[in-house]
Structure 1
Amino acid sequence: MIVRWGLIIALYLISIVAIGVGSVSVAPIDVWNILKSKIINTDSINTVSLAVQDIIWEIRTPRVILAAVSGAGLALAGLVMQASVQNPLAEPFILGIASGASVGAVVAILLGGMLTVHGITLGVASGAFIGAIVATLGVLLLAGIRQRLSTVRLILAGAVVSALCTAISNFIIYMAADAEGMQSAAFWTMGSLADAKWSGLFLPVLVVALMCAYFLSQVRNLDALLLGEEAAVTLGIDATKQRRIYMALIALLTGVLVSQCGIIGFVGLVIPHMVRSFVGAGHRQLLPAVILFGAIFLVLADLLSRVLLPSGDLPIGIITALMGAPLLMKLLFGNSKNFGG
């Protein structure tokens, strides 16, 4: 409980600081006053100009909220997948879900104008969601052909689907004749929160909130799956059925988040291991801590992506990869006894 409240307070303070830092810096107390005046619809504060208030409220606040929501959702996805497949390297990107969402989004960006049905054009959000669902179905079908679904076959099927989807995305980008679309697609595949708007927050906030609530009610099943199929059967849990349900939900979650912020790797891999090292492997304590720490991690990563380059934003996927690569090497070549310990 102490850790949980500490993370909540840290997330609040870091978010206030992140909203105020940028090309135009605003003191934390002024950020708080601006947010309070906007939320309760009171008169604007006199110490900050209206232009700066608009920057804080219309640009930075939705961006920080999207960063927190996306970080929480991606960390949750990684934790659930690691428990479900009993593999410390599992995350949506390794199992091909995010790569499938990337294919759908790239198709929507570069070919969306050609994909119109009854006057409705395929959008990036719907394209990413469709791609994530198709990739998940492909992984489940490959892993379950003629045999019972197993964790090893899931990992192998995910690697195959991920490689195939990455190749398809790169092929579409390479063959596209639209130079502006190619640049947008290439930047999007590296992850970005620059397009965050209030109007686009409803869906990711709703989906992440529902997923967090659902999986908080599944801590017993997650503990059982982490212990193995035999332990799950002993407790009366159908491991294969639960694994399929969780994979489908993670595909939905990943598709929604990827459609909003692009490909942001390593969050689902890094955060569960960082938190597990000081909270333990029990999901009752681990899951809420991972959600909060994931939000903090991505808010900080987005802050770095905004301030490192004076001329513009650095894709956030680069920041998370630079942070996550050392941990991945530690997992591959070091000692990771804390997983399931």
Structure 2
Amino acid sequence: MILKDLKGKIIFIILIGILILVSLFSMSMGSVKISFRDIYEILGNKLFNLSLSPHIQQSTVDIIWQIRFPRVILGAVVGIGLALCGVVMQATVQNPLADPYILGISSGGTLGATFSVLVFSVYFSSSSISLSISVAAFIGALLSSIVVFKISTIGGRMTPVKLVLSGVVVNFICTAFSSLMIYMSNDNGAVRSISDWTMGSLAGATLKNITLPLISVILIGGFFLTQSRILNIMLLGDESAITLGVDLNKYRKIYLLLTAFLTGIMVAACGIIGFVGLVIPHITRSLVGTNHKINTPCAMLIGGIFLMLSDIIARSLLTSMELPIGIITSIIGAPFFMYILIKKSYSFGGA
């Protein structure tokens, strides 16, 4: 156990270093190449009011501070948030195939975004449509989660199986209504906007719209970092929890509400980005085991690294256009997930 803890701490420190390097590399990439030293000076000037070298032009400062820095922060925050939700969700519902969207959150967000694009675009100017999409997606994701909670408590206590089945039902219902609205629409531009949104993107990141996701991840992530004991007990099952005097039903409700809220914010910020919350917890368990004391922080770091790397590929793979990041995460995540399942051996509920 001591060796495992030491290994986990070493991996955690290495992941912090990789996260910083990937962040700098992401900010240096683009049509305008910017050196790490210039990035360091620009961020130092903006964050700590340090002096800038004379050779750094204002256009370079604007590229880093207004475009690339917010995008990198949003990518890291969303990756960290989705990975965190994946770890918590898989432990809470005791299902290694659970992900942050299992409660119908993605389909609820899609329904809200679809309604916003097809209805609000008729009454509002194009400048306010983007904001309406984010708000409607968040409301849709949150309402779908509440409906799932209500359904799963009908006829008795909430159980992991009832939660999963309720999420499947709500997912199909929301997807059906979204498809119906798209089918009935004659606005090809709106349909394209919905399609782009469902594939995810970090292109809309600004210093203003990254604030809420950042604060939410810090607060909710900080809370779950203190819950490693309960999350470990959840892996053992309800019977073992009863013998330990822990009411998992109470914690399950709290955890799922928090993950639903956080996932809703992620969905509203950048659309649907799949495979992060599903794959990252499996990668982390294969590296450091299932003890959430080290598993959770490592998963958060790997999630941030994975999404930033995916964003780099999405921006640089084609010269004439930017690919949706959701496509990249799926292309990378699916084969890697298969490799983990085939080549690596670990127990979902064991250390």
What is the TM-score with the length of structure 1 in the denominator? Answer: 0.92
Aligned partner of 2:98 in structure 1 is: 90
Check the 8 A contact 1:133/1:248 in 2, yes or no: no
SS in 2 for 1:311: coil
Deviations 1:215-259 (A, max 9, x none): 111111111111100122222221122111111111110111110
The CA deviation at 1:312 is: 1.8
In the alignment, is the contact (CA less than 8 A) between 1:189 and 1:262 conserved in 2? yes
Note if contact 2:41-2:51 (Cα within 8 Å) is conserved in structure 1.
no
The residue aligned with 1:204 is 213
Q: Does 1:136 align with 2:136?
A: no
Matched, 1:19 2:27: yes
Quick one: distance in 2 between partners of 1:277 and 1:329? 13
What does residue 323 of structure 1 align with? 332
Runs of 4+ in 1 over 6 A off after TM superposition: 331-335
Matched residues in 2 for 1:157 and 1:335: separation?
31
Deviation, structure 1 residue 286: 0.5
1:334–1:3: structure 2 CA closer, same or farther, 3 Å change rule?
closer
Normalising by structure 2, report the TM-score.
0.90
The answer to whether the 8 Å contact 2:41/2:50 transfers is no
Please name the residue that 2:55 is paired with: 47
In structure 2, the partner of 1:310 is 319
Q: Aligned partners of 1:111, 1:322: CA distance in 2, in Å? A: 33
In structure 2, the CA distance between the partners of 1:331 and 1:41, relative to structure 1 (3 Å rule), is closer
What's the CA shift string for 1:86-142, capped at 9, x where partnerless? 1000012233222212211222233225789xxx99822321222122211222233
- The match for 2:245 among 231, 236, 253 is 236
| Corresponding residue for residue 273 of structure 2 | 264
Are residues 280 and 331 of structure 1, via their aligned partners in 2, closer, same or farther at CA, if it must alter by over 3 Å?
Answer: closer
User: How much does 1:43 deviate?
Assistant: 4.4
Q: Which moved more, 1:188-197 or 1:32-41?
A: 32-41
Q: Percent identity?
A: 47
Is the aligned partner of 1:35 residue 2:46? no
2:76 matched residue in structure 1: 68
**CA positional deviation for 1:338:** 3.1
Q: 1:293 to 1:282 in 2, by over 3 A?
A: same
Question: What's the RMSD between the two structures over aligned residues?
Answer: 2.2
Q: Is the CA contact 2:38–2:56 (under 8 Å) kept in the aligned structure 1?
A: yes
Matched, 1:80 2:88: yes
Q: How far is 1:22 from its partner?
A: 1.1
Structure-1 separation of matches of 2:18 and 2:283: 16
Q: Report the Cα offset of residue 54 of structure 1.
A: 1.1
Taking structure 1 as reference, are residues 103 and 212 closer, same or farther at Cα in structure 2, changes over 3 Å only? same
Distance 1:336 1:93 in 2: 26
**C-alpha deviations, 1:183-233, integer Å up to 9, x for none?**
222101100000000011110001111111111111111111111001222
User: In the aligned structure 1, how far is the partner of 2:114 from the partner of 2:343?
Assistant: 36
Q: Which sections of structure 2, spanning at least 5 residues, go unmatched? A: 1-8
Change beyond 3 A, Cα 1:333–1:104? farther
Contact 2:75 2:311 in 1 (8 A): yes
**Residue ranges of structure 1 left out of the alignment (5+ in a row):** none
For residues 188-203 of structure 1, the aligned pairs below 5 Å read: 188-203=197-212
**In 2, Cα distance between equivalents of 1:54 and 1:319:** 27
What is the one-letter code of the residue matched to 2:70? P
| 1-structure distance, mates of 2:20, 2:344 | 34
Aligned length: 338
Q: Does 1:186 align with 2:186?
A: no
Give the alignment partner of residue 307 of structure 2, picking from 298, 306, 310: 298
Distance in 2 between residues matched to 1:26 and 1:74, nearest whole Å: 29
For 1:222, what is the secondary structure of its paired residue? helix
